[in-house]
Amino acid sequence: MFGTSQDYEGLNDVLFLNGISNEPVRTDWELHNLSKKRLPKSTLTIVAKQLGLTIPQILKAIDLEKQLYASMKEADLFSIRHSEHLLKMMELVSRGRDLWGTKQESFKGWIKDGIRALEGKRPMDFLDTFVGIDMTIAIIGRIEHGVYS
């Protein structure tokens, strides 16, 4: 996923600021362990807010039925698969924070707009797979380096 401890700084900010984890993630191993611990229900709301999307849009992206989500208690934990998917989305949030900084509304707008690098499709339409999220993160990387797509 990341590679160096410096790569995790933005993700740790997202995790800490939102009360998702109080232990820093410094390696892929620690990120793996965090997903195995499983994330609480509140994580989905946090991810939706950070991406500027609705809860139903995030549920669709992680392939979780609305009824199952609605039946979860606040203390309930997501499956490892859903936790990992939400962590991957938080990686995207982290990269968006790195690029857009205090202009998070611009990042949220970008997620919802069709872009040429995705053949006119919206980045939010690629959140249903890890490959799609990685493609979106790669586009942010290109923008960071001045390669507008």
28 pLDDT more than 90: no
Q: In whole angstroms, give the CA distance from residue 50 to residue 96.
A: 9
Q: Which domain holds residue 25?
A: 5-144
DSSP state of 6: G
pLDDT by residue (tens digit) across 44-60?
999 999 999 999 999 99
User: Helix, strand or coil for residue 40?
Assistant: strand
pLDDT by residue (tens digit) across 97-148?
889 988 999 999 999 999 999 999 999 999 999 999 999 999 999 998 887 6
- Domain presence at residue 149: no
**Confidence (pTM):** 0.88
First to last CA, the chain: 23
* Domain count along the chain: 1
73 pLDDT more than 80: yes
**For the chain, what is the mean pLDDT?**
90
2 pLDDT more than 60: no
Helix residue spans in 1-149 (DSSP H) = 9-17, 28-37, 42-51, 55-62, 66-71, 80-100, 104-112, 130-144
